[in-house]
Structure 1
Amino acid sequence: MYEPTRPATEADRPESATRAVRLEATNHEGCYLGKTVAPKKFAAGKDTGFAFADLLFGLDLGNLPVFGAVFPDWRGHLDDVYFRPDMSTLVEWQPGVESVIGDYWLKDGTPVPICPRNLVRRMVDRLASHGFTATVAVEIEATVFEESIHEARSRGYRDLTPLGGSAGTAYHLAKSRDWVDYMNAVADRLDEVGIAWEAWSDEDAAGQVELNLAPGDPVTVGDAWARARQIMREVAFERGHTVTFMAKPTAGYGQASHINLSLQRDSVNAFHAEDGPSETMLHAIGGLLATIDGNTSLVLPQITSYRRLVDLTGPPVTRTWGISNKTTAVRAVCGNPTLSRIEYRLPGADANLYLALAGVLAGIIGGIEQKIDPPEQIADMAWCLPPGLGVERLPDTITKAAAALDADPVLRELLGDEFVDFWIASRKWEWMQFHTAGGDPSAELSEWESARYFELP
């Protein structure tokens, strides 16, 4: 997907053209981290890697060390892990500054077990062993406010003014010019760095936008997601506004990050069948529903993530699937050899897309390998279902979801014990921080959550 805006090789590029290169990758929380290096430093380390202290995987969003998991040899004593740039992602970010995305590796040349981008690649390789490739697309939702980031900070990220007016119904074109100018500027920047996008529109909540990125392979789309969010932040800051990807930044509607996915074998859509879902699609759905409780921990990572799970407000709340049914957790789109796909509707806007994709692909792999059949589909509304129908609700707290992940044998086998154990410990740590450092369980949205999640991830 990425095409450098000018020649990326050392031979073709004037020595004076670049004054800095920014190294970029997410940590487990989805924070976009990195460092800026001089061109000579980049040339010297692009093959061997760049040292980063292991604390990038050891700190919580409040900058405290996370305890509760066994410390492996590489984590816990500020040892170095190594960032290796993926040169196919090298682009000119702004005049004189290039950026490149990469992965984290250990000294012995093996991947850091909890590196999100490497986890996605591992799932892609496992699919390939069965003859499948995956095509994915993501919808990014965010809320933009009139105030600058400095004003937002001074207000504790509360009582802010939605950009574009107070209209809260999706698709409104009657938005003030500042809202339109913001999204046009975002689209222009995406074009400049080679990120393909398909659409943007007004979303349900006041000030909320939805940006649809073009389909691609999972790693490339994960990279586009990370960069698109950074662009949305930078454009907001430049224009004196602020933007947040918090799951629920106000007491109104929450924010999602829906994932659309299809599998191909020999360039043919393996999810398509003339009479509805193919057998491969049904097994994929079966695996997704069998692992959805555990995957909830990955796609709803923070305390506030679970405040979205309210019947009739958009997010799924039950372990369900249905054809063309957007009230279910997994929507099957059938009938078209090109467009047949699965929409995984659970992830919040605060999810780390790399981890979300790794978990979703793991569920699909499990379903295909074990030939898991899905339950009967839901043809009616999947919200507000009365008890006794045999339809289970999804985990609705960070600790319930962590316990479900702990008990999931498919996700453990595919994602690895070290990642799963670390992630569970970090979610329990997050729960403890909320309950001991100022969170209010009875509030619709506590000040602690606004301070912790508005800017990060």
Structure 2
Amino acid sequence: MEKDSIDMTKTLENTQAAETPTRTSLPDWLNQRDIDEVECVAADAAGIARGKVLPADKFVQAVSDDHLRIAESLFSQDVQGRTIDAGVVAVQEPDINLQPDLSTLRVLPWRQGRVASVICDAREDNGEASDLVPRQALRTVIEHFAALGFKATVAPEFEFYIAELHSDPNLPLARPILSNGARESGQQSYGVDILQEYAGLIDSIYAYGKALGVNIDVLTHEAGPGQFEINLKHGDPLAAADQTFMFKRLARAAAAEHGKTITFMAKPVADQPGNAMHIHQSVYAIETGDNVFVDAEGRNHDNLYHYIGGLQKYIPALLPMFAPFINSYRRFVRNAFAPVTTHWGYENRTVGLRIPASEPANRRVENRVIGADANPYLAIAATLACGLLGMRQRLSPSREMTGSAYAAKSLFLPEDLLSALGNMKKCKALGDVFSPRFLTLYWELKYAEYKDFMATITPWEREHLLTQI
């Protein structure tokens, strides 16, 4: 990282968001930080940041007037940014009102400190929250927990590849070039010396994360060449989703500054492990603060088993939120650090649902099915929704998997997006925790992307079929 960038992030650490600005204090907050522009962003269904950029004074006026309009069709865009013909979105593409969440207002360190960014919710003209917004889908699930007297805590950990700059989609990802001129090869799981090769970029990621309030806990090198894992500290589900959303942005910005590419694609390299987003989750009683997965003696409570039962039953139906693209299903390969079933077990990394060793107060479930390509708001909402339905319905899980789940004969994950979408469409219980309108839109988006891919003739087809059959 350049010296000016280091100095800038140190400054931001001291001035970033010691307090959340109010409508009244917002002008001073922006003036004290010499902000020229403010990004007003929301995550679309794919988790891509979309929105508007306003001059600082116009942003203050928009917040004061509660008037920041944007087309509702923003949330019916596919991963290519194309608006699909969605039955639940009016063909007139009416506006909705973005609602900046000022608690997320941050100065972007890679924009020389002159640009701030704020994450937005959205409301309809009648004042109700728009149910097409992924962030609202997570809020809704959190509200369902609160109605039962519960609150959830999550800790995401997600993997990504660092590679050379990549501009040609017809070429495979280029492994990073090391200081000796060779490309990284082999497997370097938990390697320490190899981290030095990426020290500048890693320093930038940490500095940007600290400046933006992203609570990075641990960084490790994973099995693939140039593959890393970042763990975020446990906390509120909405805050964790916001931080994951921002982490992806800051990581890409840092990589670009260092002449590298970072990808969260689930399976970017054919013969290497894919990128996962494991989410650890616990549930606590709001009144007492006690972990409801254990009883007063610290033994596993029925709530834990019901929660696991819910994950096992509903993951196949919500898999389009955990594995949202055709590429996502290429990650589910036996003996490749990814699950292929929804079996559960203690300290067992071959299963889809792992119970890590912990003190009773920290008893938790790790959902290992989710890919790093998932929208963090929807991934967290969906995994919590599965567990919530399990506790509501008092579902029982399968027997604990004590051996390798790769040898299992049951509880397999769907093998492709179309199968998962079929499960999603048939599952009526999802409407108990998600807006039916949102579920319909999401299904239509994913099906449109599937059809678009199926209309593409791949190099494999040209190589093996064009002249030989």
Both proteins in one fold, TM over 0.5: yes
Change (3 A) 1:278 1:439: farther
1:366-421 CA-partner distances (Å, limit 9, x unpaired): 11111111121211110133x4xxx2311110010011111122212211221222
2:290 corresponds to which residue?
Answer: 268
Stretch deviating more after TM superposition (274-283 or 360-369):
274-283
Q: 2:370 aligns with which of 347, 355, 361?
A: 347
Change (3 A) 1:284 1:299: same
1:453 corresponds to which residue?
Answer: none
2:257 corresponds to which residue?
Answer: 238
Work out whether residues 324 and 373 of structure 2, in 8 Å CA contact, stay in contact via their aligned partners in 1: yes
Cα displacement (A) at 1:162: 2.6
Q: Is residue 312 of structure 2 the alignment partner of residue 295 of structure 1?
A: no
1:146 corresponds to which residue?
Answer: 164
1:308-355 CA-partner distances (Å, limit 9, x unpaired): 111111111113111222211111235512321010000111000100
1:283 corresponds to which residue?
Answer: 306
2:261 counterpart letter in structure 1: T
Cα displacement (A) at 1:161: 2.5
Secondary structure of 2:422's counterpart equals: helix
1:455 corresponds to which residue?
Answer: none
Structure 1 residues 1-400: aligned runs within 5 Å: 4-5=16-17, 8=21, 9-10=25-26, 12-13=28-29, 15=31, 17-47=34-64, 48-67=66-85, 69-73=86-90, 76-94=91-109, 95-147=113-165, 152-154=166-168, 156=170, 158-162=172-176, 164=178, 165-175=184-194, 177-251=196-270, 252-265=272-285, 266-273=288-295, 274=297, 276-333=299-356, 336-385=359-408, 387=409, 391-400=410-419
1:403 counterpart letter in structure 2: G
2:181 corresponds to which residue?
Answer: none
Secondary structure of 2:210's counterpart equals: helix
1:411 corresponds to which residue?
Answer: 430
Cα displacement (A) at 1:439: 4.3
Q: Which runs of 5+ in 2 are unaligned?
A: 1-12, 179-183, 464-469
Cα displacement (A) at 1:13: 3.4
Work out whether residues 333 and 339 of structure 1, in 8 Å CA contact, stay in contact via their aligned partners in 2: no
Work out whether residues 23 and 85 of structure 1, in 8 Å CA contact, stay in contact via their aligned partners in 2: yes
Q: For the residues of structure 2 that align with 1:156 and 1:408, how far apart are their CA atoms?
A: 38
Work out whether residues 38 and 53 of structure 2, in 8 Å CA contact, stay in contact via their aligned partners in 1: yes
Work out whether residues 341 and 405 of structure 2, in 8 Å CA contact, stay in contact via their aligned partners in 1: yes
1:29 counterpart letter in structure 2: A
1:31 counterpart letter in structure 2: I
Cα displacement (A) at 1:44: 1.2
Change (3 A) 1:343 1:98: same
Secondary structure of 1:361's counterpart equals: helix
2:443 counterpart letter in structure 1: I
Cα displacement (A) at 1:139: 0.7
Cα displacement (A) at 1:66: 2.0
Work out whether residues 280 and 366 of structure 2, in 8 Å CA contact, stay in contact via their aligned partners in 1: yes
Work out whether residues 277 and 332 of structure 1, in 8 Å CA contact, stay in contact via their aligned partners in 2: no
1:135 counterpart letter in structure 2: T
Stretch deviating more after TM superposition (152-161 or 435-444):
435-444
Q: For the residues of structure 1 that align with 2:215 and 2:292, how far apart are their CA atoms?
A: 24
1:85-120 CA-partner distances (Å, limit 9, x unpaired): 111111222322221111122222222222111111
Secondary structure of 1:83's counterpart equals: strand
Q: For the residues of structure 1 that align with 2:303 and 2:380, how far apart are their CA atoms?
A: 18
Q: For the residues of structure 1 that align with 2:37 and 2:457, how far apart are their CA atoms?
A: 41
2:273 counterpart letter in structure 1: Y
Work out whether residues 298 and 360 of structure 2, in 8 Å CA contact, stay in contact via their aligned partners in 1: no
Secondary structure of 1:277's counterpart equals: coil
Q: CA RMSD in A?
A: 2.2
Stretch deviating more after TM superposition (162-171 or 351-360):
162-171
Q: For the residues of structure 2 that align with 1:103 and 1:136, how far apart are their CA atoms?
A: 21
1:205-246 CA-partner distances (Å, limit 9, x unpaired): 111111111111110000000111111000001111111111
Work out whether residues 162 and 227 of structure 2, in 8 Å CA contact, stay in contact via their aligned partners in 1: yes
Secondary structure of 1:175's counterpart equals: helix
Change (3 A) 1:93 1:163: same
Q: Which runs of 5+ in 1 are unaligned?
A: 445-457
Give the total of aligned pairs. 432
Runs of 4 or more consecutive aligned structure 1 residues displaced over 6 Å after TM superposition: 440-444
Work out whether residues 272 and 278 of structure 1, in 8 Å CA contact, stay in contact via their aligned partners in 2: yes
Work out whether residues 163 and 207 of structure 1, in 8 Å CA contact, stay in contact via their aligned partners in 2: no
Secondary structure of 2:280's counterpart equals: strand
2:53 counterpart letter in structure 1: T
Stretch deviating more after TM superposition (165-174 or 352-361):
165-174
